[in-house]
Chain A
Amino acid sequence: MDITVAQRDQATVVSVAGSVDALTVDTFTEALKKQFEQGNLMLVADLNEVEYMSSAGIRALLSMVKESRGLGGDLLLAAAGGGAHRVLEMTGFMSIVKVFSDVDAALASLDT
């Protein structure tokens, strides 16, 4: 799993590639938590390059959504298709989290 972080005007974008599963989820969670610790509470997780996600990834995302909203921020997702989108749908995640096709669409939603 590869993680890159980019600061944009509207939010911090955390891009993930590869697998988010029981073996890698701690790295993913730590990357998001680090942003909270630095005061970056508005996050976009770009999951478009995630080829595989298990329930470990879903559990981490839900936990981070709760944490960010509890701190006054939010965690938006960019996931148009692929492994992450499928599992997000199967676990009913689409109704509780804002999911966009790409990062630009997620960031644009914060402009309004």
Chain B
Amino acid sequence: MGDKPEIVREARLENLASLIEFVEKACRQTNAEQQVCLDIRLAVEEVCTNLIRHGYAGMEPGPIRLNFQTDGEKVIIRIGDHAPPFHPQQAPRLKLDSEWQKRPVGGFGWHLIPQVMDQITYESDPIEGNVLMLIKRIRSEKDVSQQEQ
């Protein structure tokens, strides 16, 4: 990629558009299918929105560092922050069999992210901060084997 594959913005809602725009543009340059880029956009929007609304809640908004890398077969997005640690496994599980009256109006973000990403890892360091890594294949295994033949 010609552009620097990283953007850092303060965790404010008015900066969400530039974070999304960065990842959309970077994804388009990989020649990934549109649905793959929409999935990546979805995961990044959900993570960044959670950081803006909840991660830095009650404190001065800190940075969101978005790093986009690809090896041609998969995309790796690292999202760094200095909010209090929040492991994705801490996210409340949605009860999809409950009646509409009992459905909470929220909690959908961390329900969606694992469904649209292939792999998620999380690390937290008191000095370096938190890093969430999202991995998405941009080519199916079938595509890869066909090209190798």
Contact = CB atoms under 8 A, between A and B. Distances in A.
Contacts, number: 61
Interface residues of A, number: 23
Contacts of A90: 111-112, 115-116
Interface residues of B, number: 25
B40 to A, nearest CB: 12
Contact of A22 (B13, B94, B111, B115): B13
A95 B103 CA distance: 12
A91 B96 CA distance: 7
A62 interface: yes
B103 A59 contact: no
Interface in B8-41: 13, 16-17, 20, 38, 41
B41 A55 contact: no
Interface in A14-40: 21-23
A11 to B, nearest CB: 19
Contact of B105 (A23, A52, A59, A96): A59
Given A23-B16, A52-B41, A66 B105 contact: yes
A91 B112 contact: yes
Chain A contact residues, majority secondary structure: helix
Interface in B40-67: 41-42, 45-46, 49
A1 interface: no
A101 interface: no
B99 A83 contact: no
A22 B103 contact: no
Given A83-B38, A91-B112, 20 more contacts: A22-B16, A23-B20, A54-B46, A54-B109, A54-B112, A55-B108, A55-B112, A56-B45, A59-B105, A62-B105, A63-B105, A66-B100, A87-B42, A90-B111, A90-B112, A90-B116, A91-B111, A92-B94, A92-B97, A96-B99
